[in-house]
A and B are shown apart, each in its own frame.
Chain A
């Protein structure tokens, strides 16, 4: 339900504008472009302000082809690598071939994107991360597009089995080389 409905000729005031901004469903946290590194850490992006988050990754471009994009959570400036991560994705390639992947009890999770070619922007994903700041399991849902002998799409999720409270996350590759991407992180406004 809308906070307020305007009628023709009515003035949009600063107060109304602020009300809309304060009640937006998704609130921008940070965003931009990253390049020139093998690993990217985002610290202090998960705070007590929001319980759940949306992360948008686009224009993934690898300097060395043949990697899955992997996520690890961070706390206090350190990457958490205990073997509590699991993930599972189902999908299809454009050719019609099924395109699934899953694993558990690892030191990382995957976001559902694999890119086998370098120098081309071939990957993107949207992820929702639930409860990273709470002393509960941190869970996520991700939908990704990549390229592995052809374009493929995967839907699924990830989990950290434990009660560690995270304030950030890290993205890195399953293989070698650097990668670049654009990103936007939003917080879901709490009810």
Chain B
């Protein structure tokens, strides 16, 4: 299972928490342990 992302629309106040897509996981600023 991928990590969860919480997305808030500050204009409407709506908030959604869901599993990240593989594309979104690739955007996470996690340090590369091998680096």
CA distance A1 to B8 in the complex (A): 36
In the assembled complex, which residues on chain A have CB atoms less than 8 Å from the CB atom of B27? Answer: 72, 79, 81, 107, 170
In the assembled complex, which residues on chain A have CB atoms less than 8 Å from the CB atom of B34? Answer: none
CA distance A108 to B13 in the complex (A): 26
Instruction: Give me the interface of A with B, judged by CB distance under 8 Å.
Output: 29-30, 34, 36-45, 47, 70, 72, 77, 79, 81, 106-108, 168, 170, 172-176, 178, 185
**Cβ contact within 8 Å between A39 and B5:** yes
Q: In the complex, how many residues of chain B place their beta carbon closer than 8 angstroms to a beta carbon of chain A? A: 19
**Cβ contact within 8 Å between A175 and B13:** no
**Cβ contact within 8 Å between A174 and B29:** yes
Secondary structure dominating the interface of B? loop
Q: Which of B3, B9, B31 contacts A37 (CB 8 A)?
A: B3
Q: What are 8 A-B contacts with C-beta separation under 8 Å?
A: A39-B4, A39-B5, A40-B7, A43-B9, A173-B29, A174-B29, A175-B31, A185-B10
Looking across the interface, which residue of chain A has its beta carbon closest to that of B17?
Answer: A37
Closest approach, in angstroms, between the C-beta of A98 and any C-beta of chain B? Answer: 22
**Cβ contact within 8 Å between A41 and B6:** yes
Residues 1-34 of B, flagged 1 when their CB comes within 8 A of A and 0 if not, give 0011111111111000100100010011111000
In the assembled complex, which residues on chain B have CB atoms less than 8 Å from the CB atom of A174? Answer: 29-31
Closest approach, in angstroms, between the C-beta of A157 and any C-beta of chain B? Answer: 17
**Cβ contact within 8 Å between B30 and A42:** no
CA distance A47 to B10 in the complex (A): 10
CA distance A2 to B3 in the complex (A): 49
Task: Given the known inter-chain contacts A29-B10, A30-B10, A43-B8, please indicate yes or no for A38 contacting B17, CB distance below 8 A.
Answer: no
Closest approach, in angstroms, between the C-beta of B14 and any C-beta of chain A? Answer: 10
